C-alpha cells in the first residue's frame, strides 16, 4: 500500500511526462497536499457546447481573481482525458499569467475517483449540473450523482429545487455517501453554466455577450461557495 504522499507524487509525475512542459503543478504541490482543495470540471464546455477558447479565458481570469484570496486552498481543473483541449488551453494561459502552480493546476482523472485512482485529495468537488438539479443526463452530473448515491439527491433537495444559470449551491455530503467515505469529499457544489446547445433548456443561441457574463458569474458563485467552506 502506497502512502498518500507517494501516490500523489507518482500521479503528478505521470502528468508531468504527458503534459506540456510549462504546465502548472507537479512536485511542488506536495507541500499543500492536505490543504482544502476544490476540484472542478470545465463548466458548460461539453454537453452545453460553450466555446473552449472563451471558456479557457474565463477560467484563468476567475482563478487569478480568487486564488490568492483563498489562503493555502487549492483549485484544480479536472478532465477525463490527457488530450483534453480545455486543459491544455487553460494550462497555457495560466502559465502566461504566472499563477502559483501550488495553488492552481490541472489534473487528468475522473472527478469521482480523484483520491482512490489519482492519489489527489480534494475535499470539495464541483458539479456542472442542470437547472432541475437532477441526477442523470450524462457528463459529470450523471457521474457525480451516481458515485455519491441517493443521499446526494436528498441533501440537494433540502437546499434547493432548482438553480438559475450563473448560480451555484453548496451541498454538504452525508458521511454515509461513498464519495465521502471512499474519496474524502465533504461537499459538492452544484453549478449551472450557460447553455449553447439547442437541444437543452434555455439555449442562448450563440449570444456570447450573455454567455460569457453568465459563465463568469458561475465561476464567481462556485469560488465564493468554496471560500465559504474554507473559512
| Contacting residue, 7, 11, 37, 48, with ligand AR6 by CB under 6 A | 48
Long-range contacts, 91-96 (Cβ 8 Å, 24+)? 91/19, 91/20, 91/22, 91/23, 91/24, 92/20, 92/22, 93/56, 93/57, 93/60, 94/24, 94/60, 94/63, 95/22, 95/23, 95/24
Of 37 and 44, which has the nearer Cβ to ligand AR6? 44
If binding is defined by CB under 6 A, does position 43 make contact with ligand AR6? Answer: yes
Closest alpha carbon to 144 in 130, 158, 131: 130
If binding is defined by CB under 6 A, does position 124 make contact with ligand AR6? Answer: no
Rounded to the nearest whole angstrom, what is the least distance from the CB of residue 79 to ligand AR6 in the complex?
5
If binding is defined by CB under 6 A, does position 47 make contact with ligand AR6? Answer: yes
What is the sign, positive or negative, of the torsion defined by CA atoms of 47, 48, 49, 52?
negative
Of 138 and 172, which has the nearer Cβ to ligand AR6? 138
Rounded to the nearest whole angstrom, what is the least distance from the CB of residue 31 to ligand AR6 in the complex?
25
Q: Which uninterrupted H or E stretch holds 211?
A: helix 208-230
Of 29 and 141, which has the nearer Cβ to ligand AR6? 141
Contact between 196 and 186 under an 8 Å Cβ cutoff? The reply is: no
If binding is defined by CB under 6 A, does position 126 make contact with ligand AR6? Answer: no
| Contacting residue, 36, 41, 119, 211, with ligand AR6 by CB under 6 A | 41
Closest alpha carbon to 206 in 214, 197, 216, 215: 197
If binding is defined by CB under 6 A, does position 86 make contact with ligand AR6? Answer: yes
Strands across the sheet with 187-191, in order?
A: 104-108, 74-79, 37-41, 124-128, 187-191, 168-172
Strand, helix or coil for residue 201: coil
Site string for ligand AR6, 190-209 (x = CB under 6 A): ---x------x---------
User: φ, ψ for residue 152 (rounded to 5)?
Assistant: -70, -40
Rounded to the nearest whole angstrom, what is the least distance from the CB of residue 36 to ligand AR6 in the complex?
19
Of 59 and 98, which has the nearer Cβ to ligand AR6? 59
If binding is defined by CB under 6 A, does position 45 make contact with ligand AR6? Answer: yes
Rounded to the nearest whole angstrom, what is the least distance from the CB of residue 220 to ligand AR6 in the complex?
16
> Which residue's entry shows cell 489562503?
71
Of 137 and 174, which has the nearer Cβ to ligand AR6? 137
| Contacting residue, 32, 35, 52, 80, with ligand AR6 by CB under 6 A | 80
> Which residues are at the interface with ligand AR6 (CB under 6 A)?
41-48, 78-80, 86, 110-112, 128-130, 137-141, 143, 193, 200
Amino acid at each position: 500500500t502506497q502512502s498518500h504522499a507517494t501516490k500523489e507524487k507518482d500521479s503528478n509525475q505521470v502528468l508531468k511526462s504527458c503534459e506540456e512542459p510549462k504546465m502548472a503543478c507537479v512536485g511542488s504541490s506536495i507541500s499543500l497536499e492536505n490543504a482544502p482543495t476544490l476540484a472542478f470540471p470545465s463548466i458548460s464546455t461539453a454537453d452545453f457546447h460553450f466555446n473552449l477558447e472563451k471558456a479557457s479565458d474565463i477560467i484563468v481570469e476567475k482563478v487569478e481573481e480568487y486564488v490568492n484570496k483563498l489562503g493555502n486552498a487549492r483549485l484544480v481543473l479536472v478532465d477525463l482525458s490527457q488530450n483534453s483541449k480545455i486543459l491544455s488551453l487553460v494550462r497555457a494561459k495560466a502559465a502566461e499569467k504566472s499563477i502559483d502552480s501550488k495553488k492552481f493546476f490541472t489534473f487528468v482523472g475522473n472527478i469521482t475517483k480523484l483520491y482512490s485512482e489519482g492519489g489527489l485529495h480534494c475535499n470539495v468537488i464541483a458539479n456542472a449540473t442542470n437547472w432541475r438539479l437532477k441526477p442523470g443526463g450524462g457528463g459529470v452530473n450523471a457521474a457525480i450523482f451516481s458515485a455519491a448515491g441517493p443521499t446526494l439527491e436528498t441533501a440537494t433537495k433540502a437546499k434547493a429545487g432548482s438553480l438559475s444559470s450563473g448560480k451555484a449551491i453548496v451541498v454538504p455530503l452525508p458521511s454515509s455517501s461513498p464519495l465521502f467515505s471512499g474519496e474524502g469529499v465533504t461537499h459538492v457544489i452544484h453549478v449551472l453554466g450557460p447553455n449553447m446547445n439547442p437541444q437543452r433548456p434555455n439555449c442562448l443561441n450563440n449570444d456570447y455577450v450573455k454567455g460569457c457574463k453568465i459563465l463568469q458569474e458561475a465561476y464567481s458563485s462556485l469560488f465564493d461557495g468554496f471560500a465559504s467552506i474554507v473559512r
